[in-house]
């Protein structure tokens, strides 16, 4: 099975991981959806894992993404371009005919694979480059891995690692990288100083000297094309330059350079168009501004902005997006709908129990999202742990805590008076990207969904969690301000939950209640309680219409 293949019915991640290891000699590690390794991987920078280790990993984590350790252990380095501008910067180091193994990432970026060069290691946040480099001490995700949203990495047609051997990096790129990295040691210079140093390394050789004329001609033609000069005028400029050499020259040489420059410009516009299309498909935004696209593409040049606007216009023509009410605004057209197979739908409910007896009024169904919104010290965590205690012997429960370490967690559980070994659930530390760790067919408890800015995103986060569920459910805690019924995200947080419970100052209130257990609509019901010892709910006034 070729490594280009993305059909996992035909090959498993384990089989491909073994191909990378045995046929290519790469050091392989299993990687989580959040791009962090499942295992301590530092040792695999020095020695490759055994076949037995790889088989053990992918037996335990069959959907793990395939990480390839870069640097001398695998003999390769990777340049990651996640925006059109980053891709354009890399292309400035490559000749027009340069070919190397290339894969597309789920976000629309690219990975370019080169033969490992001595002194090349990972670039960091202080790097002057727009692209990222994975060399000594790094790793990258390889096709056909799939991230937490089901999007895959894939080798480009004709450019898979099977079809093209990793070539050496151009010397100009190696020199610029090593200069910027301080020859492998962390440089204390500012990014601006590093950029100046990298630029100077490109200018060491004067233009149009013997040995540099070919590259200089192309560079000149490329700059003139970018500047918007027409072909005839570019030809006149290059003719004047070549005439100054005082010797005969080949006109075809000149025209070939002009043609290559126009091809590269066209390729860049196609790359931007592809990136914009992927951005729209991945963004899941209802409405967005063209300014957002330019910012995330890191594209401020006139030609780049023009290419982005053209790409958006083409998507409008195709009916993928439509123009908004204001200039520069667009809306994604959501034309696809899932069939509702009501004939084969299961009528089985999930017999979970809730603290405060909410199951008397609400039934729980597969794929339900429940929200517990509470102000500070209102009892959110106590409510969630009580929920775990009431259901842990009947259902598999995964508890994701964003603020408690193991010592604090232990102290909270000790308050319940149960032997610690009696707690049958899976507590994990997690503070972001909860959708990546949701177990689709189990009970998932999130304590809590931390959002410190852009609160409008909460509705989208809850929707993503809902979409990840299959037969399971999710109970999500949200922080809320005192005096308000809804948590962060406001009304947008009300869209997906089947139950939305608000807690504050010894009072509980049902804000959203779908799937009634009887003919009684529980929305607006209130209950007065007292929280004893930080864990025990004592009902002082049972549910009543507020």
- CATH assignment at residue 320: 1.10.10
**Which segments within 135-214 are labelled E, that is strand?**
139-142, 154-155
d(CA 110, CA 85): 12
CA distance 434 to 34: 10
Same domain for 158 and 49: yes
The token pair that represents 496 in the structure block:
């997906």
139 and 32 part of one domain: yes
Residue 374 sits in the same domain as residue 226? no
pLDDT score for 9 = 35
**Residues 40 and 85 occupy one common structural domain:** yes
CATH number at 516 reads: 3.40.50.300
Residue 179: cis peptide before it, omega within 30 degrees of 0: no
CA distance 247 to 389: 89
Domain count, the chain: 3
Rounded to whole angstroms, how far apart are CA atoms 315 and 311? 6
Q: With respect to residue 37, please indicate whether it lies within any of the assigned structural domains.
A: yes
Query: Do both 248 and 158 map to the same domain?
Result: no
Dist. CA 231–CA 234, nearest whole Å: 5
Task: Tell me which of 151, 180, 202 is where a domain ends.
Answer: 202
pTM of the model as a whole:
0.46
499-504 and 369-374 strand pairing: parallel
CA distance 203 to 221: 17
Q: Are strands 154-155 and 132-134 parallel, antiparallel or unpaired?
A: unpaired
| Boundary-marking domain end, from 151, 169, 202 | 202
Range of the domain at 88: 13-202
Long-range contacts of 448-454 (CB under 8 A, 24+ apart): 448/380, 448/381, 448/402, 448/403, 448/476, 448/477, 448/478, 448/479, 449/402, 449/476, 449/477, 449/478, 449/488, 450/402, 450/403, 450/479, 451/488, 451/489
Q: Which of 162, 178, 202 is the last residue of a domain?
A: 202
Say if residue 411 is preceded by a cis peptide, omega within 30 of 0: no
Residue pair 452/407 in contact by the 8 Å Cβ criterion: no
Position 26 in a domain: yes
28 membership: H or E segment, kind and range: strand 27-31
Q: Is the distance from CB of 370 to CB of 501 less than 8 angstroms?
A: yes
In a domain, 79, yes or no: yes
Q: What is the dihedral sign for C-alpha 345, 348, 354, 359?
A: positive
- Name residues whose C-beta falls within 8 Å of residue 81's C-beta, 6 or more positions apart in sequence: 87, 89, 90, 109, 110, 112, 130, 131, 132
pLDDT at 7: 37
Answer whether residue 86 is part of any domain: yes
- Using CA atoms, how far residue 262 sits from 185, 219, 233, 240, in Å, is 39, 12, 13, 20
**Count of residues for the chain?**
546
The secondary structure of 33-45, three-state, reads: CCCCECCCCHHHH
Residue 8 is assigned to a structural domain of this protein = no
Question: Does any domain span residue 285?
Answer: yes
Question: Cα–Cα distances in Å, from 115 out to 12, 30, 71, 146, 369?
Answer: 27, 23, 9, 25, 48
Residues 328 and 361 in one domain: no
Q: How many CB atoms lie within 10 A of CB 357?
A: 13
Adjacency order of strands within the sheet including 329-332: 287-289, 329-332, 321-323
Q: Domain for residue 148, yes or no?
A: yes
* Predicted confidence pLDDT, tens digits, the chain (546 residues): 345 444 333 358 898 999 898 888 899 999 998 899 999 999 999 899 999 999 999 999 998 999 999 999 999 999 999 888 888 888 888 877 788 999 999 888 899 999 998 889 888 767 788 899 999 999 999 999 988 777 889 998 878 888 888 889 888 888 888 877 664 444 444 444 544 554 454 444 466 665 567 667 777 887 787 777 888 888 888 888 888 877 666 778 788 778 777 776 665 666 778 788 888 877 655 678 888 787 777 766 666 777 888 888 888 888 888 887 777 788 888 777 777 777 877 778 999 999 999 999 999 999 999 999 999 889 999 999 999 999 999 999 999 998 888 899 999 999 999 999 999 999 999 888 888 899 999 999 999 888 766 677 788 889 989 999 999 999 999 998 888 999 888 888 898 999 999 999 999 999 999 999 999 999 999 999 999 998 999 999 999 997
If asked whether residues 53 and 190 sit together in one domain, one would say yes
Q: Is the domain of 181 the same as that of 301?
A: no
Q: Is residue 325 part of a domain?
A: yes
Cα separation of the two ends of the chain = 64
Same domain as 192, residue 51: yes
- Residue 21's H or E segment, with its range, is helix 13-22
Q: Are 489 and 478 in contact (CB under 8 A)?
A: yes
Q: Tell me, what's the pLDDT at 341? A: 79
Q: If DSSP states are collapsed to H, E and C, what string results for 354-397?
A: CHHHHHHCECCCCCCEEEEEECCCCCHHHHHHHHHHHHCCCCCE
DSSP-derived 3-state class of residue 135: coil
Q: Residue with structure tokens 């025209």?
A: 255
Identify the residue whose tokens are 């020259």. 249
Residue linked to tokens 């193994």:
101
d(CA 134, CA 69): 9
* Separation of CA 504 from chain center: 35
Calculate the alpha carbon distances from 209 to 218, 236, 274 in Å. Answer: 14, 20, 38
Same domain, 126 and 175: yes
- For residues 83 and 25, membership in a common domain is answered with yes
Q: Within this chain, do residues 387 and 439 fall inside the same structural domain, yes or no?
A: yes
Between CA 70 and CA 27 the distance in angstroms is 8
Q: Are strands 27-31 and 65-69 parallel, antiparallel or unpaired?
A: antiparallel
């Amino acid at each position: 099975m070729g490594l280009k293949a993305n059909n996992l019915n035909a090959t498993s991640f384990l089989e491909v991981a073994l191909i990378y290891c045995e046929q290519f000699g790469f050091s392989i590690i299993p990687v989580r959806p959040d791009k962090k390794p499942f295992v301590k991987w530092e040792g695999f920078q020095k020695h490759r894992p055994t076949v037995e280790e790889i088989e053990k990993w992918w037996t335990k984590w069959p959907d793990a993404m395939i990480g390839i350790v870069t640097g001398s252990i695998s003999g390769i380095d990777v340049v990651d371009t996640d925006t059109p501008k980053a891709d354009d910067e890399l292309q400035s180091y490559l000749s027009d005919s340069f070919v190397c193994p290339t894969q597309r990432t789920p976000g629309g970026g690219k990975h370019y694979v080169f033969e490992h060069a001595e002194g090349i290691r990972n670039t960091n946040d202080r790097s002057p480059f727009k692209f990222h480099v994975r060399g000594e001490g790094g790793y990258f995700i390889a096709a056909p891995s799939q991230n937490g949203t089901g999007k895959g990495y894939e080798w480009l047609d004709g450019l898979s690692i099977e079809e093209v051997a990793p070539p050496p990096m151009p010397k100009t790129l190696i020199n610029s990288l090593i200069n910027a990295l301080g020859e492998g040691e962390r440089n204390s210079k500012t990014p601006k100083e590093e950029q100046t140093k990298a630029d100077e390394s490109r200018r060491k050789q004067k233009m149009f000297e013997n040995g540099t004329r070919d590259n200089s001609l192309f560079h000149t033609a490329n700059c003139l094309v970018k500047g918007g000069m027409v072909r005839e005028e570019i030809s006149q400029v290059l003719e004047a330059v070549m005439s100054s050499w005082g010797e005969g020259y080949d006109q075809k040489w000149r025209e070939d350079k002009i043609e290559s420059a126009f091809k590269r410009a066209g390729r860049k516009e196609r790359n931007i168009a592809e990136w914009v299309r992927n951005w729209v498909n991945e963004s899941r935004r209802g409405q967005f501004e063209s300014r957002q696209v330019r910012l995330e593409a890191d594209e401020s040049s006139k030609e780049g902005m023009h290419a982005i606007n053209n790409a958006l216009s083409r998507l409008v023509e195709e009916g993928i997006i439509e123009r908004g009410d204001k200039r520069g605004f667009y809306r994604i057209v959501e034309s696809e709908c899932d069939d509702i197979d009501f004939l084969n739908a299961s009528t089985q409910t999930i017999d979970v129990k809730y603290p405060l007896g909410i199951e008397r009024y609400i039934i729980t169904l597969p794929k339900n999202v429940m929200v517990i919104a509470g102000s500070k010290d209102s009892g959110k965590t106590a409510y969630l742990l009580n929920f775990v205690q009431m259901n842990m012997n009947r259902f598999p429960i995964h508890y994701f805590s964003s603020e408690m370490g193991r010592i604090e967690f232990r102290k909270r559980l000790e308050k319940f008076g149960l032997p610690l070994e009696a707690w049958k659930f899976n507590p994990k530390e997690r503070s972001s990207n909860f959708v990546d760790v949701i177990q689709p067919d189990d009970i998932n408890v999130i304590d809590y969904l931390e959002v410190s800015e852009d609160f409008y995103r909460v509705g989208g986060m809850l929707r993503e969690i809902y979409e990840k569920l299959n037969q399971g459910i999710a109970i999500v805690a949200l922080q809320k301000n005192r005096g308000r019924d809804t948590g962060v995200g406001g009304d947008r947080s009300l869209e997906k939950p089947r139950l939305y419970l608000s807690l504050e100052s010894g009072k509980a209130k049902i804000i959203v209640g779908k799937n009634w257990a009887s003919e009684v609509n529980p929305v607006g019901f209130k209950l007065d309680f007292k929280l004893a010892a930080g864990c025990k709910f004592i009902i002082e006034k049972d549910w009543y219409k507020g």
